Amino acid sequence: MKFLSIPQNGASWSGPLIYSFHTESDEKQDVDIVIIDDDGVIARKRLYGVVQGEIDIAPILRSVSDMRILPSVQTSVRKSSSARKVTVQIVDTVSDPRVFCCFNIEFARSQMLSYMPVLSSIAYGEQIMFSLFAPKDVNIDIEVCAGASSSLKTITYKTDSLPIDVFINTSDFGKNCERIDIAISSQRVVFHRLCYVIGGTTTSGRRIVWRNRSGGVESYLFPRCLRLMQEAEVDCLQGLERNYSILRGAKQQYRLCSAHEDEATIKQLAEIMLSPYVYEVCDGQLIDVELCSRSVEYGTHGQLRTIALDICGEWKGGER
């Protein structure tokens, strides 16, 4: 039994991922195929009466992919769910491991998978979130500036040639923190820098988090929140002495509007239009949101101007 062809590292499961093989025999035989990742067996398949054959594992990977964002309360790094390391076993022959992603990746190059601006502002207590890929170990140097003093924290992570999601909790660095500078390197070469200015807590805006088309984690603070609708379902019951009103349920709809950003930022922000994984940050937690509509406003000459999201959810009373 031998493999005739296997897909390249970094290939996307949005296209075909075909393994072809030959039994090295002229007699037809039944062939058992097992697809395995780091967590164990993903799927099994049997081909009957073949001398050679092929299997496309892309539909299998798409069916089991779950790219929900699962942040940590503390500063941490974890393997991204936007990629899997897979081996294929045909009878007793096992392929070399391959990394497949929701996107095509340049496997030999360290790169960011989150594309929002390198200079951002964030409220104290919020999390900095981003994703990256590095074929070798990665170092994340976090310099925390408070007045004239600064301190440095370094996170070293073995990527195992898989994309990673990084979560940095600003409350880990004290309330005097004014700025966080981040340098990301692999094999002693810095390939990206980020800077976050720490401000006070925000009450008017809403921070939305999503996965972009590359599988990277993005976040953006929508500065404007407009309440569109509140609706309550009430049961009226008649008693012996008086009538009773019982609240069965309530819901609300509100609209988030982006600021007028530069062209590069608004283009990246527009990817939220097609993302199936969208969350709102509430009290430090990521809450799934139901998007009633997603719209883009264009200016003159067809340029993107603003992004608007209409969000539906349960209303628990009070102001939103």
Share of the chain above pLDDT 70, in %: 93
Mean pLDDT of the chain: 88
Distance CA 177, CA 170 (A): 8
For residue 234, the model assigns a pLDDT of: 75
Q: What is the 3-state secondary structure (H, E, C) of the chain?
A: CEEEECCCCCCECCCCCEEEEECCCCCCEEEEEEEEECCEEEEEEEEEEECEEEEECHHHHHHHCCCCCCCCCCCEEEECCCEEEEEEEECCEECCCEEEECCCCCCCCCEECCCCCCEEEEECCCEEEEEEECCCCEEEEEEEEECCEEEEEEEEECCCCCCEEEEEEHHHHCCCCCEEEEEEEECCEEEEEEEEEEECCCCCCEEEEEECCCCCEEEEEECEEEEEEEEEEEEEEECCCCEEEEEEEEEEEEEEECCCCCHHHHHHHHHHHCCCCEEEEECCEEEECEEEEEEEEECHHHCEEEEEEEEEEECCCCCC
And the tokens for 298?
Answer: 């264009």
Distance CA 305, CA 65 (A): 33
Long-range contacts of 25-30 (CB under 8 A, 24+ apart): 25/51, 26/51, 27/51
Mean pLDDT, range 69-80, rounded to an integer: 86
Place of tokens 């709809």: 253
Q: How many Cα atoms within 13 Å fall on the side-chain side of residue 221?
A: 15
What is the pTM assigned to this prediction?
0.84
pLDDT exceeds cutoff 50 at 320:
no
For residue 117, the model assigns a pLDDT of: 85
40-70 residue pLDDT tens? 999 999 999 999 999 999 999 999 988 999 8
Q: Look at residues 58, 42, 134 and name the one whose alpha carbon lies nearest to residue 101.
A: 58
pLDDT exceeds cutoff 60 at 317:
no
198-236 residue pLDDT tens? 986 656 688 999 999 999 999 999 988 877 666 777 778
What residue ranges define each of the domains in the chain, with the CATH number in brackets? Answer: 2-101 (2.60.40.10), 111-226+251-314 (no CATH)
pLDDT confidence of 319, banded at 50, 70, 90?
very low
Mean pLDDT lowest for which of 28-42, 173-187, 198-212, 237-251?
A: 237-251
Mean pLDDT, range 10-28, rounded to an integer: 94
Distance CA 102, CA 80 (A): 11
For residue 167, the model assigns a pLDDT of: 94
pLDDT exceeds cutoff 90 at 129:
yes
pLDDT confidence of 84, banded at 50, 70, 90?
very high
For residue 301, the model assigns a pLDDT of: 62
pLDDT confidence of 318, banded at 50, 70, 90?
very low
88-115 residue pLDDT tens? 999 999 999 999 999 999 988 999 999 9
For residue 316, the model assigns a pLDDT of: 60
